């Protein structure tokens, strides 16, 4: 099967640091190629793939601010659709905009909905509900207004994450520095427990960082290391006694949660969104309702078997399992598409 994989162009594919949608597009592309499928990755020109790279945009527009995002998005998406008849399947990781091209082509398209940035984007998804296929990344993130062919939880390349049986005593926050991710709450939890907190992630809201985060950084009890690449990521995740994930929104998935568990590190998360689908409460971490409950369970973190955390990822969240499920979806769609 010849698949066109449409990755976003905010960052290169795979991303050097941050870029969860680009990360999944890359894992899927590489896994399909390894199984003998013919995959063309539509991504930025500085992207890397063992498949065929087709690029119009020179770099991610988040990495090169001279690029006007909408201009390069238009060029990027139209480039694929103008070559659509050369593919058996288009796999869209680019949100709703590519859907508006689908009435002009006959190639079947599946869209992985990586989350809804706003209810305001639903009209586009609803318009094309009966002409394309949607995959949700968690049961929690499904819209009642849409039909889905399948829920496919993300998978990770577990070989990239080393199991660490003996962590230190620090807590870790790993994610965007933004209200949604609960950085302020993570700081409050760590302070109340008198534990060191290491924070990693891009600053997505500078005003939030300046007000709630920067005043607490002392490089002793509170350390901010910025956005980190794969080597530092697995080291930080593995050495923490727990990952704090006090989210303030209904998170569609949360790659850092399973990456943490792959290293053996349990996760203390607010019980919202997809978290109950990823974390087995009391077994691979704790699901809590507020900061006070999180503080209480930090003292119980040694009850969690770090080997069990790793085992859960090996059983449920590998890239091989994700690829198996997407291949099944491709086959279902192709069989239902008129010749």
**Considering only CA atoms, which of 166, 169, 173, 163 is closest in space to residue 225?**
173
Residues near 70 by beta carbon (within 8 Å), at least 6 away in sequence? none
* pLDDT tens track for 158-213: 999 999 999 999 999 999 999 999 999 999 999 999 999 999 999 999 999 999 99
Beta bridge partners of 135: 112, 150
Share of the chain above pLDDT 70, in %: 99
**203 secondary structure, DSSP code:** B
What token pair was written down for 172? 């870790």
- pTM greater than 0.75: yes
**Considering only CA atoms, which of 32, 41, 35 is closest in space to residue 94?**
41
Read off the pLDDT band of 83 (50, 70, 90): very high
pLDDT at 272: 97
Distance CA 66, CA 62 (A): 9
Neighbours of 332 (CB within 10 A): 14
On the question of pLDDT at 57 being above 80, the answer is yes
- Domains in the chain and their CATH numbers? 2-155+318-336 (3.40.50.2000), 158-316 (3.40.50.2000)
């Amino acid at each position: 099967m010849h698949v066109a994989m449409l990755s976003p162009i905010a960052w290169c594919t795979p991303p050097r640091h941050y870029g969860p949608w680009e990360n999944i597009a890359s894992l899927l592309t590489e896994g399909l190629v390894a199984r003998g499928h013919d995959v063309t990755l539509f991504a930025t020109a500085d992207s890397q793939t063992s498949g065929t790279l087709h690029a119009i945009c020179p770099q991610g527009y988040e990495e090169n601010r001279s690029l006007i995002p909408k201009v390069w998005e238009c060029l990027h998406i139209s480039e694929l659709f103008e070559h659509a008849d050369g593919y058996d399947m288009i796999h869209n990781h680019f949100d709703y905009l590519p859907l508006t091209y689908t009435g002009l082509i006959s190639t079947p398209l599946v869209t992985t909905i990586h989350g809804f940035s706003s209810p305001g984007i639903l009209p586009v998804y609803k318009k094309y509900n009966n002409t394309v296929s949607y995959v949700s990344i968690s049961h929690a993130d499904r819209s009642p207004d849409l039909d889905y062919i399948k829920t496919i939880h993300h998978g990770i390349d577990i070989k990239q994450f080393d199991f660490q049986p003996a962590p230190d005593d620090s807590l870790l926050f790993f994610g965007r520095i933004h209200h949604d991710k609960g950085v302020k709450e993570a700081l409050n939890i760590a302070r109340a427990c008198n534990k060191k907190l290491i924070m990693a992630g891009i600053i997505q809201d500078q005003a939030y960082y300046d007000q709630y985060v920067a005043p607490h950084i002392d490089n002793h009890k509170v350390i901010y290391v910025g956005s980190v690449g794969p080597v530092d990521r697995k080291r930080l995740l593995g050495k923490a006694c727990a990952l704090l994930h006090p989210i303030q929104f209904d998170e569609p998935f949360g790659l850092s949660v399973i990456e943490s568990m792959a290293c053996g590190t349990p996760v203390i998360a607010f019980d919202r969104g997809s978290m109950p689908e990823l974390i087995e409460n009391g077994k691979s971490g704790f699901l809590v309702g507020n900061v006070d409950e999180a503080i209480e369970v930090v003292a119980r973190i040694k009850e969690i078997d770090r080997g069990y955390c790793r085992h859960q990822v090996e059983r449920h969240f590998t890239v091989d399992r994700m690829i198996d499920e997407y291949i099944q979806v491709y086959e279902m769609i192709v069989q239902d598409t008129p010749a």
